[in-house]
Amino acid sequence: MEAQLVYPSRLEKYARRLLDELVKRGYSVSASVLERIEEAQAKFVVILGLDREILQALHSLPYETTVLPVAPPSYTGYIALTPMDKCAQVLELLERGRVTPLRLPVLSAFVDGTKTVRAVNEVAVFPRRSATLLEYDLEVNGDFLWHDTSDGLIVATPLGSTAYALSAGGPVVLLDAEALVIISVNSVEPGRRPVVAHLRSSIRVGGVSSRTSVEVIADGVERVEVEEEVRIGVAGYLNMVVAEDRGTALAKRKFTYEELRELPPSAKFVLKVLEDEGELGISEIIDLTGLPERTVRHALALLSSRGFIEKLEDPVNPKRILYRVSRK
């Protein structure tokens, strides 16, 4: 069986171990460095990395590819659910038919009739400048749902429901649910609630306007300016091998959206960045938020004390501390 191994260059020594394991099991393996990959070729792809690196790799995969996300040593993510030392066991179960890959929908966003981007987590529509309102109309399957003014709009898959959408007040959707979640972020209408639509729904965000330019953001990876409308729907699927459903665990979280609302703006901003980008060091958080170091450290301490985030060692550099949204 053919397989492709995708990994970031910094994890090359771990990639060699995975490569040896795959070859030992009879796979014909090609290896690709994440930073230079354009499109995966094999029908079965093993991706080694942190969540944000795996998410980046997923954007290069053709529909119907079977994917095994693998976490490097001392790391467990929301997408990288298979620890490296358990990879052989999971491969054995997969080969024996004991594990059935989950069908993960891939969103397509058609922007102004000219440009298409894809996302496995979420498509977000936001003004480019923060603290600026967005005005838009929302239609689902041709039916007008609302005219709204808010910070932005998120359309999330079940996989993405536990990322940015969760911090914006959306529900946790289990991975096998045939649903999409639509969330107005900080609407001026107090009664505006998230909407759960069928997975095959056609969503149109039209009449887009703001005091600044507006962007369609796919998984925080790709950004495209939108002038008038964006049409969103499921265009295909990936088949992901998972050992556990992170949505099941997250559904048991003890903190609530009410607790999130009580956080100061700086802490919400840091939490949003961690939800969007994955595991980050403090210097990366400072760069991405533009906040002073003292403010970031205070926000991290507050989020940590309330159980929203947790620390972990960088698997490549144990002296470096990473922060991520808590799995507890």
- Report whether pLDDT(244) > 60: no
What distance in Å separates the CA atoms of residue 226 and residue 111, rounded to the nearest whole number?
6
Q: What is the pLDDT at residue 252?
A: 45
Is 70 exceeded by the pLDDT of residue 25?
yes
Residue 250, pLDDT score:
47
- pLDDT band, very low/low/confident/very high, at 254 (cuts 50, 70, 90): very low
Between these two residues, 157 and 42, which has the higher pLDDT value?
A: 157
Choice among 44-48, 126-130, 153-157, 276-280 with the minimum mean pLDDT: 276-280
Strand partners, 9: none
Rg over alpha carbons for the chain, rounded to the nearest Å, is 20
In the chain, ranges of CATH 1.10.10.10 domains:
253-325
- Provide the CATH number for the domain formed by 2-99 in this structure: 3.40.50.10330
3-state DSSP assignment of residue 141: coil
Phi, psi of 209 (to 5 degrees): -155, 150
Q: Distance (Å, rounded) from C-alpha 52 to C-alpha 43?
A: 22
- Assess whether pLDDT exceeds 70 at residue 327: no
Q: Percent of the chain beyond pLDDT 90?
A: 51
pTM: 0.76
CA torsion 138→139→143→149, rounded to 10°?
0
In this structure, the number of other CB atoms found within 10 A of the CB of residue 10 comes to: 19
Stronger pLDDT, 215 or 267, i.e. the higher one: 215
DSSP assignment letter at 63: T
Q: Given the structure tokens 């972020």, which residue do they identify?
A: 185
Give the span between the Cα atoms of 91 and 3, in whole angstroms: 12
Please give the C-alpha separations between residue 284 and each of 242, 249, 280, 323, in angstroms, as whole numbers.
29, 27, 6, 10
Q: Please, where in the chain does CATH 2.60.200.30 lie?
A: 105-236
Q: Is the pLDDT of residue 64 over 70?
A: yes
Domain with CATH 3.40.50.10330 in the chain: 2-99
Give residues with Cβ within 8 angstroms of 13, minimum separation 6: none
Least confidently predicted of 71-75, 88-92, 117-121: 71-75
Q: How confident is the model at residue 5 (pLDDT cuts 50, 70, 90)?
A: very high
| Average pLDDT value for residue range 218-245 | 89
CATH superfamily, domain 105-236, is Probable inorganic polyphosphate/atp-NAD kinase; domain 2 (2.60.200.30)
Q: What pLDDT is attached to residue 224? A: 95
More confident residue, 245 or 56: 56
pLDDT tops 80 at residue 258: no
Contact present, 173 and 160 (Cβ < 8 Å): no
The C-alpha atoms of residue 73 and residue 315 are separated, in whole angstroms, by 6
DSSP string, 149-172: EESEEEEE-TTGGGTHHHHTTPPP
More confident residue, 299 or 313: 299
The 10s digit of each residue's pLDDT in 164-179 is 787 788 888 888 899 9
The Cα 131–Cα 320 span in angstroms is: 32
pLDDT band with cut points at 50, 70 and 90 for residue 253: very low
Give the per-residue pLDDT at 203.
98
Is the confidence at residue 144, as pLDDT, over 80? Answer: yes
pLDDT over 70 (residue 261): no
Which pLDDT belongs to residue 263? 79
Query: Which fold would CATH assign to domain 253-325?
Result: Arc Repressor Mutant, subunit A (1.10.10)
Nearest to 289 by CA among 256, 300, 214: 300
Q: Which of 226, 225, 268, 275 is nearest to 250 (CA)?
A: 275
Which residues have C-beta within 8 Å of that of residue 187, sequence separation ≥ 6? 148, 149, 150
For residue 131, the surrounding DSSP H or E stretch is none
